[in-house]
C-alpha cells in the first residue's frame, strides 16, 4: 500500500528487513503453525483447529497413544487428511528460493506437515517430527504414511499399531535435533520468526538463544506476541504468504 506517494510503514519495514538479511549470514528461520494456515491447515489451538474437537490430553500425549492407540488414530486420521490436502503456499516457496539463492541457511520448523520440503527447502530441522513416516515402537520398523494410508489402523508386520514419527506431548525432543537447533541459533546473525507465538517449550527458547548471541530478530506474525516487545528488532505484521514473498522480492533486489 502507498499513502500520498510514500511507502506505508509495513513496506518500509519489509525493505529494512530485506537489507539486513541480504548482508547477513547465517540467516535462519523458526516457523510455526501460522505459516501453514494459508495452505489449509488450521492452527491446532485455533478456533477450527484439532484441539477444538479433540482434547490433546486424551489424543495427543504419548501415554494416550501407548494406552489406547486405536482411539488416538481417530484424531491422527483427520490430521492426515488435512496434511494430505495441503500444498505449499507462497511463504513456503519463497523460503525455498531464499535458501537456493544463499540468503537462508536453515529452517527450524515446529510443523509436521512436510510443506517446507515440498516448497523447495532442503535444510529443514523438524523440531516436532514429520507425519509422513510411521514407526513401530516394538521392532523399530519404519514405513511411509503413503504405503499404510489404506489401512484403517496402520499396523506393523509384527502386529503392533504404528505411531507417526511426530513428537507427542510427554515425549522429549530428540537430543540430536535439540543440540543442532541451539547450535544453529547461537551462530545465527539473523533469525526470521514466522507464524509462531513461541509459547511451546523448548522451541520458545530458540529466539532467546539467538538474541543473546546478537542475532537480529525479524518477526512475521498476524498479531503481536511476547517476542515483539522483548526480543524483536523488526516486526512485520500480516500474513506469512504476502510478507515473505515481499521480502524475497526486496532481498533479490538488494542482494543483486
Catalytic residue among 92, 106, 116, 128: 128
**193 forms bridges with which residues in the sheet?**
30, 219
Q: Which residue has the cell 522480492?
A: 249
Q: Which three cell numbers stand for residue 10?
A: 509495513
Compute, in degrees rounded to 10, the torsion defined by CA atoms 245, 133, 50, 127. Answer: -60
| 128 catalytic per annotation | yes
Q: Which residues are catalytic?
A: 128
Amino acid at each position: 500500500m502507498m499513502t500520498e506517494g510514500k511507502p506505508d510503514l509495513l513496506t518500509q519495514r519489509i525493505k529494512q528487513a530485506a537489507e539486513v538479511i541480504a548482508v547477513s549470514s547465517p540467516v535462519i528461520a523458526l516457523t510455526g503453525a501460522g505459516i501453514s494456515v494459508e495452505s489449509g491447515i488450521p492452527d491446532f489451538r485455533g478456533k477450527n483447529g484439532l484441539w477444538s474437537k479433540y482434547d490433546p490430553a486424551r489424543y495427543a500425549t504419548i501415554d494416550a497413544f501407548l494406552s489406547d492407540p486405536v482411539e488416538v488414530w481417530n484424531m491422527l486420521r483427520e490430521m492426515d487428511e488435512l496434511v494430505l490436502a495441503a500444498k505449499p503456499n507462497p511463504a513456503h516457496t519463497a523460503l525455498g528460493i531464499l535458501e537456493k539463492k544463499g540468503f537462508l541457511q536453515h529452517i527450524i520448523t515446529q510443523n509436521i506437515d512436510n510443506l517446507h520440503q515440498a516448497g523447495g527447502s532442503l535444510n529443514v530441522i523438524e523440531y516436532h517430527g514429520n507425519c509422513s513416516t510411521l514407526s513401530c515402537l516394538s521392532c523399530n520398523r519404519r514405513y511411509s504414511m503413503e504405503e499404510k494410508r489404506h489401512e484403517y489402523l496402520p499396523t506393523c508386520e509384527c502386529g503392533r499399531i504404528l505411531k507417526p514419527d511426530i513428537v507427542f506431548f510427554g515425549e522429549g525432543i530428540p537430543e540430536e535435533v535439540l543440540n543442532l537447533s541451539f547450535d544453529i541459533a547461537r551462530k545465527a546473525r539473523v533469525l526470521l520468526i514466522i507464524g509462531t507465538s513461541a509459547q511451546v517449550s523448548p522451541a520458545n527458547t530458540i529466539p532467546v538463544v539467538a538474541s543473546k548471541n546478537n542475532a537480529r530478530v525479524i518477526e512475521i506474525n498476524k498479531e503481536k506476541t511476547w517476542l515483539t516487545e522483548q526480543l524483536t528488532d523488526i516486526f512485520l505484521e500480516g500474513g506469512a504468504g504476502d510478507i515473505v514473498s515481499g521480502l524475497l522480492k526486496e532481498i533479490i533486489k538488494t542482494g543483486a
